[in-house]
Structure 1
């Protein structure tokens, strides 16, 4: 079975390609390499013994998407990661996010509706919940007015997919994930941000390596136990495996609705300071960090209720925060040798 993974050389995409190949799927990875590296292909090969088919392709170019599907009309499933994903950057450059995240989704779906049957996994986000009123967050929590353009693109994306499903043969699963961190245990692939990291953990590891002078902790006046924001940090390999489980659910026609939604997290919230302290413990490195003002677009806390994914998908996160941070540190040390 031929599966298309968009953003296939990115952080979550590359780990999902590995898990798909481990399960015997034939994978085509497309990526415009705007926030990834062609070297990731070598890492995937070193883990699985096989490279996916790769095409450098920008999904914002409608003609390129059409050409791709004219040559690969035997694709049976699509896992769609390709998107810009930094909350802060989206506030500063909203049009980039609307063009990249919405146009590419529309062009993909236009081609999928031409196929006899289409199975679509969408990389969504817990940002659709905004600042949820109750913790942990269930899939039934109301979708709030988005706090950032990034979060809004995920809300709009879900709405587009739901509308398309009503009138076409596209079956979809929306995976709302919380905060992916870590790297493959082999340290062959991991998070590889280009430029200044937008996420906490790569900023932590780069600071520990001496690449960054200090880590900024955005806000210490949140109504939490230590004043810093709380998130649900999930190991990227656990997350990748959930995508394979969800894809199989669609391929085996086990879905109960045309569009299903699942939270992917650990069910445990950790504050920024807890993450820093845990990293210092597993790495034996002292981090230089400074408390600064809150960052626009950030919320106080978000962690998942994962009962639905556990019960319906039969999936559960396996790795601890310590294991995820240790793998991220191992990866950082390898790429800086």
Structure 2
């Protein structure tokens, strides 16, 4: 019998790719998403790739009673993967309460409901932002690197949520968790059926880059040319989104398969290799033959 997984935020960029990989691995997927930064048509793309249309519930996970009813309507969920969150760093500085409400309340609601429905574990989508600006003398960053004070409300919600998960489980909650700290997801499914398609103005480099190349955006601005790097632009660790999605399946297999070494485990998801913004743009231009204004 297939195990059932709730993917919270499953029509988003990483959530949709993870849904594909979960279905390919034999899991049954239920998606809850409020579609605030995604599109219902993503479900069509998932179905074209896998031949399976996941169950979908349009719901704001801050609505605890609504979430309880959704879980009642889909009994037997064994694990949760939590992607649902607001994620724009700049916006979080301008609207901090929106971020604390969306990101923290959603997690607390799910943690409170998990024992009621005998849900065995939760994979939490965290971020490398918890490490702050990395020390050049200590690269690549490992899971044992110190946590630094967050530089934005968005980053702070990731730190707070990690602490909430640890505190809850250490207090005796009857479930486990794997926390995945992402570096910078990039790319799209090789079928091109799903990808990074945010509503409104993109907050990440690649969708902005592709939209500029297509003429949707007027020009691409690179902020910062005086970093201590070979070309002066910022260096980031980019990870292919399909690899990232597969890592979530491995985490779920580990947690539900009784292979976790602790009730709360933390893993970084990256390549350990840095690529500068200008290198990325130049590679995009070389691959597509399109000059980006």
Q: Aligning the two structures, in what range does the TM-score lie when normalised by the shorter sequence?
A: over 0.9
- The answer to whether the 8 A contact 1:132-1:144 is kept is no
Alignment of 1:193-204 (within 5 A): 193-204=198-209
Q: Residue by residue, what CA displacement relative to the aligned partner does 1:7-29 show, whole Å, maximum 9, x if unpaired?
A: 00000000000001111111001
Q: Which residue of 2 aligns with 1:58?
A: 60
**How far apart, CA to CA, are the structure 2 residues paired with 1:272 and 1:260?**
32
Which residue of the partner structure matches residue 46 of structure 2?
Answer: 44
1:18 is aligned, of 16, 20, 34, to 20
Aligned counterpart for 2:116 among listed residues 114, 117, 120:
114
Q: Distance in 2 between matches of 1:140 and 1:113?
A: 30
Q: 2:29 aligns with which of 27, 30, 34?
A: 27
Q: Determine if the alignment matches structure 1 residue 258 to structure 2 residue 263.
A: yes
More moved, 137-146 vs 56-65: 56-65
Answer yes or no: is the 8 Å Cα contact 2:71–2:117 preserved in 1.
Answer: no
SS of equivalent to 2:116 = coil
For residue 133 of structure 2, the aligned residue among 122, 131, 134 is 131
Partner of 1:305: none
Q: Deviation string for 1:89-129 (max 9, x for gaps)?
A: 11121111111000000001100132445211000100111
Q: Which runs of 4+ in 1 moved over 6 A?
A: none
Q: CA deviation at 1:267?
A: 1.2
Paired residues in the alignment total: 288
- Paired with 1:146 and 1:13, the residues of 2 have a C-alpha distance of 24
Contact in 2 for aligned 1:5/1:78 (Cα 8 Å): yes
Equivalent residues in 2 for 1:133-152, closer than 5 Å: 133=135, 134-152=138-156
Partner of 1:226: 231
| Structure 1 residue runs without a partner (length 5+) | 289-337
Contact conserved, 2:77 with 2:119, CA < 8 A, in 1? no
2:242 corresponds in structure 1 to: 237
Alpha-carbon deviations, 1:159-194, whole Å to 9, x = none? Answer: 000011112112000000011011110010000011
The residue that corresponds to 1:88 in the other structure is 90
Aligned equivalent of 2:159, options 139, 155, 165: 155
Alignment check: 8 A CA contact 1:164 1:170 kept: no
Aligned partner (choices 164, 169, 174) of residue 169 of structure 1: 174
Distance 1:170 1:232 in 2: 32
CA distance in 2, matches of 1:225, 1:153: 33
Does the CA contact (< 8 Å) of 1:91 and 1:149 recur in 2? yes
3-state secondary structure, aligned to 2:61: coil
Partner of 1:326: none
Contact 2:9 2:33 in 1 (8 A): yes
> In 1, Cα distance between the equivalents of 2:156 and 2:243?
26
Q: Decide whether the 8 Å contact of 1:132 with 1:141 is kept in 2.
A: no
TM-score normalised by structure 2 residue count:
0.96
What is the alpha-carbon root mean square deviation over aligned residues? 1.0
* Normalised TM-score (structure 1): 0.84
**Secondary structure, counterpart of 1:216 in structure 2:** coil
Does residue 207 of the first structure (1) align with residue 212 of the second (2)? Answer: yes
Deviation at 1:69, TM superposition (A): 2.2
